[in-house]
Amino acid sequence: AFYASPSYTKPIFNYFREEEKLDLEKLLAIEDDSLENFVLKDNNLAVIKSSPEFLTNKNPKTPTNRILTSLFSKERLSFILKYAIAYVDEKKGIEKHVMRYPQIFATKAIENKLESGIKKGIIWHTQGSGKTALAFYNVRYLTDYFQKKKIIPKFYFIVDRLDLLIQAKREFTARGLIVHIVDSRKDFVKSIKTTTAIHNNSGKPEITVVNIQKFSEEANVTQKQDYDISIQRIYFLDEVHRSYNPQGSFLANLTQSDTNSIKIGLTGTPLITKDYYSKDLFGNYIHKYYYNASIADGYTLRLIREEIESDYKIVLKDALDKIKILKGDIERQKVFAHTNFVEPMLDYIVNDFEKSRLTFSDSSIGGMVVCDSS
């Protein structure tokens, strides 16, 4: 059984995999045989009562009944209607989107962490699972969450590259958020000092997208006195596996300057190295959605491994042998970074890429080079 938001064209259906243990005895009414007989008789269907199909349809554990219980319990339905639907302004027109189930459960997991007093953590959702959209949904949900506590929230989305800033702005704007751009220390401090959470007169929700690429190495990004303490700042830090070095000034300074801030790291590839580990920087995982689950749900394509062509295998082996003769016993990462190895490997990648476009008669085929973390 699947679910989707209504569409004038082709609806996009989603899997739903329940992650919470539901108490069916509490959620579902007790079977009433006399009421059942009355309804069947009233519809001239008393004959089906003992049929296998009718008994199956009454079973609360069938796929359809499971998804109905999950989506239409009172609290869940209220959440979906209020927070889980977005109108997205795409090039082809307005699209109606509904939250995927990992986004729903990640949002509830964030709330549970906040309720228990935890103010940092990581959302590990595999690449392509909609982490920017998750941040958007949480702007709406957490705004109401904090307003019930008479707290004014202010949202930031932190990136470390200009292209990611442009992409995030486009995705947030398409969903109706007012977006402010910050790409300098001066603008960042100015934003933090502002005493209002929103700057527009219409009351629309806002988010500030911060590109730290230009100022993450500055000695003092912020100072304690820079902060307006009446506002609860919530930082969504994108791709936390990559560039938030604890020795770098930005993260350390951000943590020390606003100890009350909430920091939610977003990643599809958690970082594990000798130097530092994502969990040490951002706390434990708030929610996980793995690659294999994304494949099963149809969001991620399955990887297919192809052998390198034999003639290139020989070329690369010869290159490795020459490097070992030239350099002797050297570190693996230096071997694979050597010009003698990189150049023939690059030739193979380019030739294979061009050949694929010809083989499949598709010039739109793209490529991605994925490297081992050496």
Q: Which residues pair with 234 in a beta bridge?
A: 155, 262
Contacts 24+ apart (CB under 8 A), 60-67: 60/24, 60/28, 63/1, 64/1, 66/1, 66/18, 67/1, 67/2, 67/3, 67/16
Q: Is 135 helix (H, G, I), strand (E, B) or coil?
A: helix
Homologous superfamily (CATH) of 100-296 is P-loop containing nucleotide triphosphate hydrolases (3.40.50.300)
Ranges 169-173, 272-276, 294-298, 342-346: which has the least confidence: 272-276
Cβ within 8 Å of residue 175, ≥6 positions away: 86, 87, 88, 89, 133, 136
Q: Residue 12: exposed, middle, or buried by beta-carbon count in 10 A (0-12, 13-18, 19+)?
A: middle
pLDDT of residue 249: 56
Domains of the chain, residue spans: 1-98, 100-296, 310-359
Q: pLDDT band at 64, cuts 50/70/90?
A: very high
Tell me what pLDDT residue 374 has: 45
- For residue 331, pLDDT over 80 is answered with no
Which structure tokens are listed for 296?
A: 């099963």
Report the distance separating Cα 192 and Cα 206, nearest Å: 14
Q: In this predicted structure, what is the pLDDT of residue 154?
A: 92
What token pair was written down for 149? 């506590």
pLDDT band at 272 (very low <50, low <70, confident <90, very high): low
What SS3 state is found at 110?
Answer: helix
How far CA 281 is from CA of 39, 113, 218, 334, in Å, comes to 59, 17, 19, 28
Owner of token pair 């693996």: 332
- Tens of pLDDT, residue by residue over 221-234, are 555 555 556 689 99
Residue-wise pLDDT tens digits, 355-368: 989 998 999 888 88
The confidence score (pLDDT) of residue 26 equals 85
CA neighbor of 109 nearest in space, from 300, 289, 292: 289
Nearest CA-CA partner of 132 in 39, 239, 46: 239
Decide if pLDDT at 174 tops 60.
yes
> What are the pLDDT digits (tens) for 210-265?
988 766 555 455 555 555 566 899 999 988 766 565 555 566 667 666 778 899 99
- Strands annotated E in the chain: 85-90, 93-98, 120-125, 152-159, 178-182, 206-211, 231-237, 262-267, 285-289
Which tops the pLDDT comparison, 283 or 196?
283
Return mean pLDDT, the chain: 84
